[in-house]
Amino acid sequence: MPLRSTASYRGTVVDHARNREFVYESKLERGFIYISLASELVEDYLDQPPPVDFLDGDGRMSTHTFDALLTLNDGVRAAVDMKPKSKVLKSGILQVQRLIEEQHGKAIADIYLVRTEDHIHPDDVADAVLLLRARRLASEKADAVLAGLVASLHGWCRLRDLVAASGIGGDAFNAVVRLIGGGVLEVWDHARISYECFVRRARA
């Protein structure tokens, strides 16, 4: 459970697939961790990477610790800071990242990103949590049954109806979630994944 106060939102996210714990210090970080771990584009996630020394705008030595360092499947490394949108400019994080990139280049990362609540939507976080759980409860039998149903699926179908057609109960819901996460199915209007959302085979 996170330790909450008016000044902090701390806790850990357990990644069962990697057998690791990731520390977060804000709700934004927590959401970003879940989304990153669920993404098939992310190969590795390092929370609180080693601090980086750089010369600030006044020529003084300063230190900055990124919130995360991601390695994508194509090898691209992304250094990421997370801030509430209202605090991005006031915090000076954009200038800090620019100075680090100018002074260190790709020795630290290939790209430098700032993520706010505009990039970390609650629906995406909820879907990521659901997907990570579904992957942890993987069932080859359920996957085979749903793969057969989806192969003959034409147009949109309510997720609830797809689960009912499988005849295997709750395992079918998790199998559908895994198909969504794997890009086999897509959700209508990017709605939050639920029994009531509509899905169809993803278009190439």
Residues 109, 129, single domain; the answer is no
pLDDT mean over 110-127: 96
The rounded percent of the chain whose pLDDT value lies above 70 is 96
Same domain, 36 and 91: yes
pLDDT at residue 8, as a whole number: 58
Lowest mean pLDDT among 94-98, 130-134, 150-154, 195-199: 150-154
Task: Look at the chain and report how many structural domains it folds into.
Answer: 2
pLDDT band at 16 (very low <50, low <70, confident <90, very high): confident
> What's the burial of 146, exposed, middle or buried (CB within 10 Å: 0-12/13-18/19+)?
buried
Domain housing 181: 122-201
Tell me, yes or no, whether 15 and 95 share the same domain.
Answer: yes
The answer to whether residue 4 scores a pLDDT higher than 50 is: no
Do the Cβ atoms of 2 and 9 come closer than 8 Å?
A: yes
pLDDT of residue 7: 43
Shared domain check, 131 and 111: no
Where residue 194 sits, what CATH number does that domain have?
Answer: 1.10.10
On whether both 170 and 91 belong to a single domain, the answer is: no
Residues 99 and 147 in one domain: no
Assess whether 95 and 152 both reside in one domain: no
> Which of the listed residues 63, 87, 115 is the one where a domain comes to its end?
115
Q: For residue 31, is pLDDT > 70? A: yes
Residues 60 and 141 in one domain: no
